[in-house]
Structure 1
Amino acid sequence: MRGHGKVALAIAGTAVAAAASTAWPVAAGTASTGGWVLVDQEDFDRPLRIDGAPWRLDPQGRRSPWNVDAFDDDGEAWRKISGPLFARRLATLNVFRKRVAFGRGGWLTAEIAAVDKDRDGRPDSRPGLSTARLPGGQRVGRISEPSWDAGVLIRPTRPLPPRYRVEMTLRGLGFGGKRHGTFDYGGRHNGYTKEPCKTRYPWTFQGALPGKERCDYPDVTRENGFYYLTILDYATPAPHGNPGIHFRRKVIMDGYYSDDARWKNAGTCDPKTRRIYRTFEGTFNGVNALFPRGDLFRETANNNISNEYYIKTRCGNVSMDKPYGPGNRFEGHLTSAELQPQLMPKAAYRFAVERGRTGYTLEMSGPFLHIGQATLRVHHDFVEDGRPIWHYNQTPGEYDGRFDRRLVHRGPAGTYTTEHSWPKGSAYPDSFIIGDPHLNYYEGTADVDDVRLYVPR
């Protein structure tokens, strides 16, 4: 099996060096399943040494170890569309980080970040990743995020192989959604504690908001979520302000637990009856299985900083730039199934992504609402019916430049132009994330187990 060479990574018009990687070695005596052989796994049976690691101040700028591209936390794109106002907003806070390798040979990395809003030299909260024991004795990795202004991710330390299957098991979820028919439980609303001034400051898709201070920015507590398993197009994912990740996702399996009015016409698939019901009639514990399109971008207030999506479910396929179909009252989004968090940890859910010769497969297994125990799988070719999966190519030879285009990102103070969003000669390594990649959204806890990586037999 061939390994990764060092490649130039073109993301949003900025060249980023991808980490060099060799072929993943197959450990002696490892298990195999369904044509895949296990090369690495983490079952969280041993204590982790992550929470005790020291915090590091992110220096920001191009020399930062966490710098990505023009859409980074302090990126050129935001400065162009916001003018000096964004720089002034960003100067009101610091970001502290940890980057800690763990697992056999350090094959996984924990990326943890927290905001220091009063600039007193320490993070305002203590997010982390540690081992915990469930009531039945099972050990898990517990992602803990006590405040929305922080993020915790698990990612591979080096880019994924050309072909792979990666999977994880979810044994507990406390990042919002309804329980017993309400968003209010455990002294929280939608998973958030009830302090005031929980806003998306300072990062929005429009850049800095003129005339608004921190507490005037839009409230986030109606929008909680968690990334079960998602593939990004660069080697070192870490938590950042939420807009940037919308330009970096290859395939997505996440939960977005929101009753915001803009989702009032969204639908959710009942995988048993294969009929779509109104998302607002469900439990807000859905799984989004999405294929970001590399040929279509949102032209509204998001300013081309988000791809449109193609969604495949048991209820049919949907391109999110169009209504669901003639006479269908649903539009805006289609969720593939709903979890039942109250069944965990006795029950569990497994999420897997496979990259094969022709495309990506998304898989989820567990006791879903309406259908019970089931395995749901959907596949999309790298290019299917003229639709490309965004930045699917790991090497320049896998792509000929046909979907390259110029994107203009508009804001209140100006514009930023991505001259080449997907040029010929570009390449994008695969890296998965589990957790919360946002520094200004999401709050809660999750129990993760059995992170596994397979390669073809």
Structure 2
Amino acid sequence: MRRNVRGAARKAGLAAVTTTVVAITSFGVSTPATGDTAGAPSPSSSSSPSSPSTPGKSGTPSAQAKAGAESSAAAVDWTLLHSENFSAPINTGNAPWVRENYTTPFDTIMDDSGQWYRNDYGPAWTTAFNSFATYRKEFQVGQGGWLTASLSARDWNKDGVIESPPSITTATVGGAPAAVLNVPDHTGGAIFRPTNKLPDQYRVEYKLKTIDFGGKRNGSIEYNGKINGYSTQGCKTQHPWGEGSRSPGWSGNAAAPYCEWQDVRSGPYGYNGFHFMSIVDFANPAPRNNHFWHYRRKVLMDSFSQHPDRVGSGTGGRVCNSNTNQYYNYRDGNFNTVNMWISGLPNWTPGPGGLAGNSQWFMTSCSGGVAEQQLSSAAELQPELMPNQSYTFAIERDATGYTLEASGNFARVGQKTLRFHRPFIVNNAPIWHYNVKPSEYDGRYNATLVQNDVNGSASWPNQWPAGSQYPDYFVIGDLYTNVYEGSASLTDIRLYVPQTTQPTTNLALNKPATASNQCAAAEAPAKAVNGSWTGGNSDKWCALGANKWLQVDLQSNTPVGRFVVRHSGAGGEKASWNTRDFDLQVSTNGTTWTNVASVRGNTANVTTHTFTPVTARYVRLNVITPTSDSDTAARVFELEAYAS
């Protein structure tokens, strides 16, 4: 986050318009609030949608609040597409650190080598920028590599050795597997992103297990030998991507030594933070300077851990108590804020010494879910409770707009789900680059970004033209390479897509089935493809032994994109006998197999597994752990395969 020095409201961009809305939460109804008429929060009694086997309407209000909560939000039935719980160690594939040469920048404006800085600071900025080298590392994670881990690090003296490299590894956190993001120096970065663009409609969620990116611990900003999450060793400044040459509190001279740039650890520019989740408007995002990101985000949830020096004698902003729907001053909180907000239109002509960036609109229960142009936090985390307690963050995109959701035990208010829907356009105030395809937008907000600065001028036309498209990508972690330092752990990253009318032809129905073995003559593999699972204990395949598998010959090569498995509980047996750990595989020859779904820790009676369709003649269920108790038999009442 980039905010004014004392946390005052940012006024650039569109002014808020006024209407009246009632904020409805699971704790009751608030007083009316004014703002831009963004959708009111939809209450929820849980922090995640229904289980993958029984997708539900994420965003469906509780009964007492249903009447008014969904005036803007579309109810969507979600089905699980991808999931990663980090139970297996991350395989980096020996991915190397590669020096960044900026031959293919994301843009020429605010990217690390952007022209904006040269026009503002002059030739001395180029010297500062070239005084170090930046290295990147990326590797795919998860089933089919659906996630990508992206790291950035600085080589201070350009000797080819990275002094404090960040990392993403796996570990057991709070008794469960998790990914650990560690950024030991504020010039590094570490994020997760999707390898491919997100669908037009989706829900992304994950659980945050621990976080140590600043904020107070037990009432103090100094803890564990750190200051606001930063190491106390050496200087830590925004060099070379400063706040702008005319920002107060420093000389504005790009030739100044590193230590004389804006201090990120303390002082009027001191802050730390973490991106719980952001949706950005370009492909393959990677860590960059913080000012770049202020021009590339659509919607986001982040923390903003200011140092008391930055707050000074001001309020530092405001935080919503969602139980009372009253704000309290940031300076009176624990500095571990959860900000739920959208990016609006930018100031097209920032002026000399300014920076390109979008207007910022914050949503809270205190505003009735209305997005307002004032720094307003929706809640505060309690890091001291972690990892025994975790927080869930989710973002949805439906046909009408975006929904931001955060669940957990928040300071002052306790366990709660905060959920705000914001339509793509409200009273002519759009979410920046909301259109993921050209048909969603008519070009009405197109304009030219203009910089007239002391050391140069430039203009960048067609910043949002008709015919444009900006597919969504999410980012989770530390995006910034000139501020933010610390560590965090997370797990259960899940991507859901809308549940559509599925093809009804079961490709496996009554096809030849074989298996590793069978428990009895009446429990042969053919029983798992006979179209029935209600005929009692003899209406299933059962197997014992060390290696248990069920295979079906579809009798011709055909597209397969979905499996449905009906486990023990679906046939009326014990739910503890539902297949716990298993892989679903496909093959064209019955010899070479490819995993299309890997399930660990299942307890559901019926599981559905959707994936990008592949050509297959043979399908196989490979059982790894048959049950959740001491029973050693595998039991499957039906294995179904569909084209999509």
1:311 Cα shift? 1.9
Match of 1:50 among 86, 92, 100: 92
The alpha carbon displacement at 1:212 in A equals 1.4
Question: Which of 95, 104, 126 lines up with 2:134 in the alignment?
Answer: 95
Between stretches 80-89 and 437-446, larger displacement belongs to 80-89
Structure 1 residue 300, shift from structure 2 partner: 7.2
C-alpha deviations, 1:355-374, integer Å up to 9, x for none?
A: 00000000000001111110
CA deviations 1:16-47 (Å, max 9, x no partner) are xxxxxxxxxxxxx8663331000001101000
Distance 1:200 1:250, change over 3 A: same
CA shift for structure 1 position 417: 2.0
- 2:284 pairs with 236, 257, 278, which one? 236
Q: Report deviation, 1:142.
A: 0.2
**1:223 counterpart = 2:277:** no
Amino-acid identity (%): 38
Question: C-alpha displacement at 1:69, in angstroms?
Answer: 3.9
1:372 has 2:395 as partner: no
Q: Give structure 1 stretches of 5+ with no counterpart.
A: 1-28, 322-331
Whether contact under 8 Å (1:295, 1:388) holds in the other structure is no
Match of 1:400 in 2: 442
Match of 1:363 among 388, 399, 405: 405
With the length of structure 1 as denominator, give the TM-score of the two structures: 0.86
Answer yes or no: is 1:213 the counterpart of 2:257.
yes
Counterpart CA distance in 1 for 2:131 and 2:121 is 16
Separation in 2, partners of 1:410, 1:456: 46
TM-score normalized with structure 2 length: 0.62
Aligned mates of 2:109, 2:53 — CA distance in 1: 42
The structure-2 alpha-carbon separation of the partners of 1:378 and 1:172, relative to structure 1 and needing over 3 Å to count, comes to same
What do residues 40-60 of structure 1 show as CA deviations (whole Å, max 9, x unaligned)?
011010001239532111112
Answer yes or no: is the 8 Å Cα contact 1:50–1:129 preserved in 2. Answer: no
- Between stretches 46-55 and 443-452, larger displacement belongs to 46-55
Q: CA deviation at 1:456?
A: 0.7
Q: Does 1:269 align with 2:320?
A: yes
Does residue 429 of the first structure (1) align with residue 480 of the second (2)? no
Match for residue 148 of structure 2 among 88, 93, 109:
109
Matched residue SS, 1:243: helix
Describe the shift of the 1:212–1:295 C-alpha distance in structure 2 as closer, same or farther (beyond 3 A): closer
Q: Which residue in 2 is equivalent to 1:196?
A: 234
| 1:400–1:425 contact (8 Å) kept in structure 2 | yes
- 2:93/2:139 contact within 8 Å kept: no
Q: CA deviation at 1:293?
A: 0.9
Q: 1:303 aligns with which of 339, 349, 354?
A: 354
Measure the CA separation in 2 of the matches of 1:305 and 1:420.
15
The equivalent residue for 2:225 is 187
Match of 2:541 in 1: none
Assess if the C-alpha contact under 8 Å between 1:61 and 1:75 holds in 2.
no
Query: Take 2:423 and 2:199, find their aligned partners in 1: how far apart are those partners?
Result: 18
Question: Quick one: distance in 2 between partners of 1:72 and 1:371?
Answer: 40
Deviation at 1:338?
A: 0.5
CA contact (8 A) 2:128 2:255 kept: no
Contact 1:298-1:306 within 8 A present in 2 as well: no
Tell me if the contact between 1:297 and 1:304 (Cα under 8 Å) persists in the aligned partners.
no
- The amino acid that maps onto 2:296 is R
Alignment deviations for residues 302-332 of structure 1 (CA, whole Å, 9 cap, x no partner): 73511112222110166655xxxxxxxxxx4
**Larger relative contact order (CA 8 Å, sep ≥ 6):** 1
Work out whether 1:150 is the aligned partner of 2:201. Answer: no
The number of equivalent residue pairs is: 415
| Equivalent residue letter for 2:131 | T
Equivalent residue for 2:293? 245
1:173 aligned partner = 211
CA separation of 1:298 and 1:335: change in aligned 2, threshold 3 A? farther
Aligned to 2:74: none
In structure 2, relative to structure 1, the CA distance for the partners of 1:72 and 1:92 (3 Å cut) is same
Q: Is the 8 A contact 2:341 2:371 kept in 1?
A: no
2:61 corresponds in structure 1 to none
The answer for the alignment partner of 2:103 in structure 1 is 61
**Cα-Cα RMSD:** 2.0
1:77 CA drift (Å): 2.6
Given that residues 119 and 454 in structure 2 are in contact (C-alpha distance below 8 angstroms), is that contact kept between their aligned partners in structure 1?
A: no
**Structure 2 equivalent of residue 336 of structure 1:** 378
| 8 Å Cα contact 1:61/1:67 also seen in 2 | no
Q: List gaps (5 residues or longer) in structure 2.
A: 1-51, 58-76, 246-251, 500-644
Q: Which amino acid aligns with 1:361?
A: T
Q: Does 1:86 align with 2:125?
A: yes
Does the alignment pair 1:162 with 2:175? no
Distance 1:399 1:198 in 2: 42
The structure 2 residue matched to 1:126, chosen from 156, 165, 185, is: 165
